[in-house]
Chain A
């Protein structure tokens, strides 16, 4: 996996996607607008995990904790009947997610491999129980946001994020920003170090890289970015509940990565869309009738098949097909 050049065709696809998403509101409104909006937020969530899994090689099964903590923080920090100011609320909620990430990361990164997977899950579960069992988060019912935050400076509202269309573009801008940020990060010394650690941590240490601080920084940054996604979803829906921290959520975002293709930023975005569409499809009673109640069965089966048959995800399919065709071609040539 080498570095990505600025002029390479790999930038055409993300640009095209950006343009498509920007034009999307022209052709639809209402439900579908809200749906794509939600998926873009999930894409940010998936990108944050891509930093951990794809770049640093740290498989976390507890990433939803940071997503959920920021979402709850958004609601808990907002005044009950007044609008909070976006410019302090956003950094504050992201800071909450990052704070939990740095503590959990410091503990989890003392382990590796399978242990790491298990302890990240356990710490996410701990956060889940805090919101599920204690009165802090309103218990299993969750809590509602009464007034959305305002993007205002000196009393003047700059952007009215109460309007769905405006909020859509705010989210799109955030997605583009996160994507660009991670792309630049990947090329930087910090990013290359992470990739090196993923490839061969022993060699990195032998060369003189103290790998723990790098991994912790990646873990915290990933938590912060997941927190951004959590903030956006809390503002969008105006509602949070403990299930946002459940391991099903953590499993889902991991799944998005592998569906789309690990190791490519575009894969995270593609995976988020693929996952959301799959979920929607399996619940479509037009196709499945009454059986659509059991959409999780089909989802489960799809997960198994896609991991088994498409190890490089959707974004890796063209390369997979090319490899198969060239192998077939060689076999033909040999006769």
Chain B
């Protein structure tokens, strides 16, 4: 990470409290272009809450979030999305009744909404159709573009989830467990895709699959009970004693 480079997304001392419960406490991290930054932790560590706060889906209690150099701490989720933030969900969040193509096209329409133009059909919009085609191409879904999204296999749906995320051409990607429920072959496809996406994007990856995380990440942040206990490159994190005892299980420290 070169000093002086502007992180695409920077979280400073982010905390989120729900009444008496502190879900996320004083978490700071930075997402750099060309990197996959994984956030791992046990269940209840606060990873989902962190992603929701960074995405703007739930309000922050304290701390700041900067996106492409701008302070977006008080911005709504749609505003952040328009500023270049994309996210995928752990539970597949697609439009089941539309075709795969229309799924991406509608998502892409967010960049050029033109709601007052009532006479031209949306499907003839050149900007959104081009962006959709591009996103589907990157996610290797072009062949199944005309199929109804709800009828896809689980793995294909997860790929569509990523494609829809890409349709708005974001700079920062927040991916919440993209490998959830995938078999080994589908996992390979997805990991290849993630590696290809590094160029031009900064990626935050929340995942449970440890092998995948250590394979594909450039940096790893480990959370336990809402706080960060370790952060660094995979090699550093793997041997960090706190991480080993808290998360990877009691193993010999060698």
Residues of A within 8 A of B (CB): 1-3, 184-185, 187-193, 196, 199-200, 202-211, 214, 217
Contacts and interface: CB of A to CB of B under 8 A. Distances in A.
B115 A189 contact: yes
B95 interface: yes
B113 A189 contact: yes
28 contacts: A2-B98, A2-B102, A184-B119, A185-B118, A188-B121, A189-B109, A189-B114, A189-B117, A189-B120, A191-B118, A192-B106, A196-B95, A199-B95, A203-B107, A204-B106, A205-B81, A206-B57, A206-B86, A206-B89, A206-B165, A207-B107, A207-B167, A207-B168, A208-B78, A208-B79, A208-B82, A208-B111, A217-B115
Contacts of A191: 118, 122
B87 interface: yes
A275 B90 CA distance: 44
Nearest to B80: A208
A209 B77 CA distance: 9
A143 B55 CA distance: 55
B75 to A, nearest CB: 11
Nearest to A185: B118
A202 B107 CA distance: 11
A218 B109 CA distance: 18
Contacts of A199: 95-98
Contacts of A208: 78-79, 81-82, 110-111, 168
B110 A207 contact: yes
Nearest to A201: B93
A184 B118 CA distance: 7
- Interface secondary structure of A, over-half rule: helix
B196 to A, nearest CB: 22
B245 interface: no
Given A203-B164, A207-B81, A208-B82, A193 B98 contact: no
Contacts of B106: 192-193, 196, 204, 207
Contacts of B77: 205-206
Contacts of B121: 3, 187-188
B112 to A, nearest CB: 8
The 4 closest A-B pairs by CB, nearest first: A208-B110, A208-B81, A207-B110, A192-B122
Contacts of A192: 106, 109, 122-123
A148 to B, nearest CB: 32
B235 interface: no
Given A189-B113, A210-B76, A1 B81 contact: no
Contacts of A204: 106, 110
Contacts of A210: 76, 78-79
B125 interface: yes
A200 B93 contact: yes
